[in-house]
Amino acid sequence: MSNRHSHHHAFESYHGRVCEGLSVSSRRGMIKNSLAGIAGLSLPQLLRSRAEAVQNGLSQASGKSVILLWMAGGPSHIDTWDPKPDRPYLNRGPFGVTSTRLPGTFICEHLPKQAAMLDKFTILRSVDARQSNHEPNMVFQTGHRGASPRSNPRGYTFPSIGSVIAKHHGPNLPGGLPYVAFQKSKSHIAYSGYLGKEFDPFIAEPACRLPIYDLVGQDTGKISSADMFRFAPGVSVNRISKRQSLLSQLNQARKGFFESDTSGLDEYSQQALSLVADEKVQQAFDIRKESKKVRERFGKHLWCQKALLARRLVEAGSSFVTIDLSYHTASGTWDTHGDNIPPYGGIKKGLGPLLPLFDHLLTTLVGDLDDRGMLDDVLVIAMGEFGRTPNMGTQDSTDGRNHWPVVMSMCLAGGGLRHGQVIGATEKDGADILHRPITPGDLAATIYHHFGVPQNTTYQDPRGRPNFVVAENGKPISEII
């Protein structure tokens, strides 16, 4: 596994372990280490990116946001949103179908809640996932087929859609975190690539009290400590503030000796400290601040609590929130190759238990956003990295399906789009696209249209040369905008 995305902490640019100068070096090093130890929040960079966006005339208060439910591993399209009930068992699989709110449209029997409110959703059945793979899962999270490090040495250079939004849209409220991810594994989430690590996602788990599940989805009965907001023993907000004041004085003194002005670091670091110390920021990550009724509506499951926190983060100004729906740190819980291939199982025993949980999570989140009057602004996307083979029995299993990047299904809700429709279709066995192919670039272009980010926006390589546009040959999905 590559370590190219090793991001240690937000204040790494201070080089806190490197001596600088003579008489002031150790003191400044002490201060820098203190700041680096606050939390690893990436907040100074995020605040700086927001300021840059304002200077470039980009809107910071559109209220538009995305919650991406990332089904890591690749859910079977035939056993979810594109069933083939009239086909032989080997093709159609073990599940039946259920009728939906849309006349003549059927989906898997284990998604009854979504079926009952399918008028609020759009199902895309003809998504072309060629070149998409997992570990890392990057093609659909970047909108570029080239973002496939397994086959392209430059695959890691493509910035995630969330990172592009962080740079060119920013948060919706002052102090908000533009790109947040709940991450089971770094290989499941796309990072910033050439945009620079200041646009990496804020990793949320260390900031939250959440139930701890093992790698196969069993609740251990333990709760994470949310220790990101805890200072080291003997270190208080007042003490850190005093050290920052000293750093500011030292930076002023440095102006007389060095051409570069580091005072900007003070500005954004001070804002970061204020946010860490501010109870409002901590409350966004504290699910206990929700009413008992709302918490019971979402339920106690880890993924459902993350969905509730995602809504809270959007309310607090976040623009893009990704939830890694996986228990396992490897290829992902939705990678259902077969019951004889642990740990994920096959279609019946592996995918079967996931679908009712996912059905509840998805519909509760969409319903909650709707009840709060937020659904027109929040685009909810549920997808994985590819579909599964049309026939079961791959890899010496009787009930599993292998990777199938030829086609996959996904669904969307909210965002003020025109829902209540199914777009595209596959051949009668679900093996290939019949009509209306939708590409990773089309999905990215649709998201950028939602945010008002021009699709011809480019990013540069480290030498400052224009590289790629943010949406590869993509066009917004015209049927829904």
- Confidence band for 452, pLDDT divided at 50, 70 and 90: very high
More confident residue, 230 or 309: 309
pLDDT computed for residue 61 by the predictor: 45
pLDDT score of 256: 52
Among 249-263, 301-315, 336-350, the range scoring the smallest mean pLDDT is: 249-263
Q: What is the pLDDT of residue 25?
A: 40
Q: Are residues 253 and 142 in the same domain?
A: no
Amino acid 264: pLDDT: 43
Structural domain ending residue among the three candidates 240, 262, 284: 284
Please provide the average confidence, as pLDDT, over all residues in the chain: 84
CB neighbour list of residue 471: distance below 8 Å, 6 or more residues apart: 143, 441, 442, 444, 445, 448, 455
| Residue 7's pLDDT band (cuts 50, 70, 90) | very low
Do 332 and 192 fall into the same domain?
yes
Mean pLDDT of 182-203: 95
Please tell me the total count of domains within the chain. Answer: 2
Token pair recorded at residue 434 = 């019949």
Q: What is the per-residue pLDDT for 272?
A: 55
Inside any domain, residue 152: yes
pLDDT at 110 exceeding the cut of 60? yes
Q: For residue 56, what pLDDT is reported?
A: 56
- Which range is least confidently modeled, 83-92, 137-146, 194-203, 301-310? 194-203
Cα gap 98→192, rounded to integer Å: 40
Maximum Cα interatomic distance, the chain, rounded to a whole number of Å: 80
The answer, yes or no, to whether residue 467 has pLDDT greater than 80, is no
Residue 104 lies in a domain: yes
Give me the pLDDT at residue 460, please: 79
Q: Which residues of 51-88 are buried (b: 16+ CB within 10 A; e: fewer)?
A: bebeeeebebeeebbbbbbbbbbbbbbbbbbbbbeebe
My answer on whether 262 and 352 are in the same domain is no
Asked whether the predicted pLDDT for residue 20 surpasses 60, the reply is no
Residue 155 included in any domain: yes
Q: How far apart (Å, rounded) are the C-alpha atoms in residues 232 and 237?
A: 11
| Whole-structure pTM value | 0.82
Residue 296 has pLDDT above 80, yes or no: yes
Domain harbouring 99, CATH code? 3.40.720.10
Q: How confident is the model at residue 472 (pLDDT cuts 50, 70, 90)?
A: confident
pLDDT reported for residue 186: 96
Of 258-262, 297-301, 310-314, give the lowest mean pLDDT range: 258-262
The pLDDT, as a whole number, for residue 236 is: 56
113-168 confidence digits (pLDDT tens) = 999 999 999 999 999 999 999 999 999 999 999 999 999 999 999 999 999 999 99
Which residue, of 284, 299, 320, is where some domain finishes?
A: 284
d(CA 369, CA 376): 9
> How does residue 312 score in pLDDT terms, banded at 50, 70 and 90?
very high
pLDDT of residue 11: 33
108 and 130 housed in the same domain: yes
What's the mean pLDDT in 167-194?
93
Least confident of 44-48, 55-59, 157-161, 236-240: 55-59
DSSP code string of 223-254: E---GGGPPPTT--HHHHHHHHHHHHHHHHHH
Residue at 54 is within a domain: no
Indicate whether 350 belongs to any domain.
yes
Pair (195, 264) in one structural domain: no
pLDDT for the residue numbered 60: 45
- In the sheet that holds 65-70, the strands lie side by side as 202-203, 179-182, 320-324, 65-70, 378-383, 408-414, 121-127, 421-423
Q: Rounded to 10 degrees, what is the CA torsion of 382, 385, 391, 394?
A: -130
pLDDT at 241 over 90: no
Classify burial at 97, counting beta carbons within 10 Å of its beta carbon; exposed 0-12, middle 13-18, buried 19 or more.
Answer: middle
With a cut of 50, say whether residue 41 has pLDDT above it: no
Q: Is the same domain home to 184 and 332?
A: yes
Same structural domain, 271 and 159: no
256 and 209 co-located in one domain: no
Q: Range of 376's domain?
A: 60-226+287-469
Among 242, 267, 284, which residue terminates a domain? 284
d(CA 44, CA 58): 19
- The answer to the question of residue 478 being in a domain is no
Do 180 and 136 lie in a common domain? yes
Whether residue 298 is found in the same domain as residue 381? yes
Average pLDDT over residues 19-41: 39
Give me the mean pLDDT over the 9-18 stretch: 37
**pLDDT score at 342:** 87
Whether 1 shows a pLDDT value over 90: the answer reads: no
Express each pLDDT in 364-412 by its tens digit: 999 999 999 999 999 999 999 999 999 999 899 999 999 999 999 999 9
What pLDDT does residue 267 have?
46
Would 381 be classed as within a structural domain?
A: yes
- Asked whether the beta carbons of 272 and 43 are under 8 A apart, the reply is yes
Instruction: Say yes or no: 263 and 324 in one domain.
Output: no
Residues 205 and 279 in one domain: no
Please indicate, yes or no, if residue 128 is contained in any of the structural domains: yes
Contact between residue 159 and residue 50 where contact means Cβ atoms under 8 Å apart: no
